[in-house]
Structure 1
Amino acid sequence: MMKNYILTFFTLLSTCLFAQVNGVGIGTTNPQQKLHLASPTGTIRVDGLNSPNNLYNGGGVDKTYPLYVDSNGDFTLKTSAYNNSDGGDAYTSTAAINGTVTITTAQSPNDGYEVVEITSFPFTVARNTILEVKYSISIEVFSNSSYNIIQDPYARNITNFFTIDTPTLTATTRRYAPSSRCYFNRNDAAVSPMPAPDAATGFIYNSGTTYIPLTPGTHTLRFYGTISSGTANRNTHIRFAGGPDAIFLRLY
């Protein structure tokens, strides 16, 4: 009987030592990690992450939600962002905003194109990471800085995009998440010479999303807006970021 106790003791001891050195295996006697689920159908259930217990779990049969790891290594369903306007205006009057761009018939060159840097966001990362960027920028279209409506039969193309770590915009600069809108008002002065013919007014939006790999260091996002009136300069005045705008930055 004593031999059986001794044999059982050494069996348990060797099992514990094996588990401490190699990890804990469920369905395997040779765990390859600290916790190894060997079953091909093995899953993990955490009651603290289910819909009755976690307000970030929306519930619903056959619906899933992203699982994240916080700085402590804890699992969580709550997502956090490096920058998130979260219902507020991303481009406020306190930021460095240059939100207008103008084309006039008198300017040179007569190429019907202008570009402006709207604002920038510097930030620092300590490791290799993936940056997710989502933006939504409001646009208002006028014929001049007095905010008169356009009264000609020509379309305008308005584009927004951003660059990363490029202080000067050139023809070869990588432009991320470009988004465009076309403005057209056919009720022009030649057809309808009234003082104020009908035209669309108010905000339109350009929105974009992209993912960028980054190395450790300080980086700068620069948001731009462009206007094109065709091959010739036609009076145009665009006001960017004058409405409720949004930006979302998240590091992975």
Structure 2
Amino acid sequence: MNNKYLYILLCSSIGFSQVGIGTTNPQEELHLTGTTSTIRIEGLSTANNPLNDGVKNARVYVTGNGNLTLTPPSYVAGGSGNGNLPINFLIDVPNFIPDNIDGLPAPYDSLGRIINSDLTQETVEGFIYSVTFTVPAACTVEVKHGVTLVVSGINMLIPPRLAYINDSKTRTIQTYFCFDINNDGLSVAEKAIQYGNKGQFYCSVAGGSLGYPYMNSQGYATLPPGTHSIHFFGIVQDSPNTFTSVGFGGATDYLKLRVYN
């Protein structure tokens, strides 16, 4: 009886000294066969590692202990030179603001989010759009975005929608964004912290003008791990007794979120 147990133990030791996947005759401690065989390490995935942006392939390094990592050797946080982390974008969204948020009929379906300052107002603020994202660890993020604009002298939400501005008065257009931590609803305190404030003026001449100006900006924030969202806002300012209608995001926009940790 004892000899039988010894025989089983020896066979088990020999059988498990080498592991084969797709083969019954492994030649190494771990042997994968197949021309399309792959290996997945979830700790290096986009969901679990901010250095993997999910867009381009990330370079994997091997430490002195044989560990696999996305962090380059000799990296020092805040340092410079060859030890710097590569540029990694957590999100890279082209045209992130839908061209027709307000659901207008063609051919007016490329006006973005419309914010109006009517004859009784001089400053109007409105919500443009929000984007949700997840960071697996505490980090600093850099947000870069560009927004196209459509400017009209009449309300673009109702016909005839578009009209040249030719009153020779100046309009100011601004954007900024806020972070909704944990994506549980933007609170008053969260909205009070504004990032990436950017503005430009729009001044017409007697002949008038109509088209797509372009405005971009960036900002930095430190975020805890978890799912968050970025909320973008627009502000329209004009002179008394003037009407200004601005469409935010009617053409090609972009949003990039870069991670530092």
Question: Do both proteins adopt the same fold according to a TM-score greater than 0.5, normalized to the shorter chain?
Answer: yes
1:242 is aligned to 2:253: no
Deviation of 1:111 after TM superposition, in Å, equals 3.9
Greater Cα radius of gyration, structure 1 or 2: 1
**Two-structure CA RMSD over aligned residues (Å):** 3.1
TM-score (norm 1): 0.58
What amino acid is the match of 1:245?
Answer: D
What amino acid is the match of 2:96?
Answer: A
Deviation of 1:213 after TM superposition, in Å, equals 0.6
Could you say if the C-alpha distance between residues 154 and 91 of structure 1 is closer, same or farther in structure 2, counting changes exceeding 3 Å? same
- Report matched runs for 1:14-33 at 5 Å: none
Structure 2 unmatched runs, 5+: 1-57, 62-67, 73-83, 104-111
Identity %: 22
1:143-177 Cα shifts (integer Å, max 9, x gaps): 11211011313210000111112725689712111
TM-score (norm 2): 0.57
Deviation of 1:201 after TM superposition, in Å, equals 2.4
Contact 1:68–1:79 at 8 Å: present in 2 too? no
Could you say if the C-alpha distance between residues 238 and 218 of structure 1 is closer, same or farther in structure 2, counting changes exceeding 3 Å? same
Could you say if the C-alpha distance between residues 168 and 74 of structure 1 is closer, same or farther in structure 2, counting changes exceeding 3 Å? closer
1:125 is aligned to 2:122: no
Q: Structure 1 CA distance, aligned partners of 2:190 and 2:203?
A: 27
1:167-210 Cα shifts (integer Å, max 9, x gaps): 256897121111111011131xxxxxxxxxx2232211121112
Q: Which residue of 1 aligns with 2:211?
A: 202
What amino acid is the match of 2:70?
Answer: G
Q: Structure 1 CA distance, aligned partners of 2:165 and 2:227?
A: 42
Decide which of 179, 187, 201 is 1:164's aligned counterpart.
Answer: 179
Deviation of 1:236 after TM superposition, in Å, equals 0.8
What amino acid is the match of 1:72?
Answer: T
Decide which of 152, 175, 181 is 2:200's aligned counterpart.
Answer: 181
Structure 1 unmatched runs, 5+: 1-66, 188-197
- Report matched runs for 1:29-68 at 5 Å: none
Q: Structure 2 CA distance, aligned partners of 1:78 and 1:96?
A: 39
Q: Which residue of 2 aligns with 1:90?
A: 96
What amino acid is the match of 2:254?
Answer: A
Decide which of 70, 75, 80 is 1:73's aligned counterpart.
Answer: 70
What amino acid is the match of 1:133?
Answer: V
Could you say if the C-alpha distance between residues 135 and 89 of structure 1 is closer, same or farther in structure 2, counting changes exceeding 3 Å? same
Decide which of 155, 160, 164 is 1:149's aligned counterpart.
Answer: 164
1:2-47 Cα shifts (integer Å, max 9, x gaps): xxxxxxxxxxxxxxxxxxxxxxxxxxxxxxxxxxxxxxxxxxxxxx
Aligned length: 169
Decide which of 214, 218, 230 is 2:223's aligned counterpart.
Answer: 214
What amino acid is the match of 2:198?
Answer: S
Q: Structure 2 CA distance, aligned partners of 1:101 and 1:116?
A: 6
Identify the range of structure 1 (121-130 vs 168-177) with the bigger mean alpha-carbon deviation.
168-177
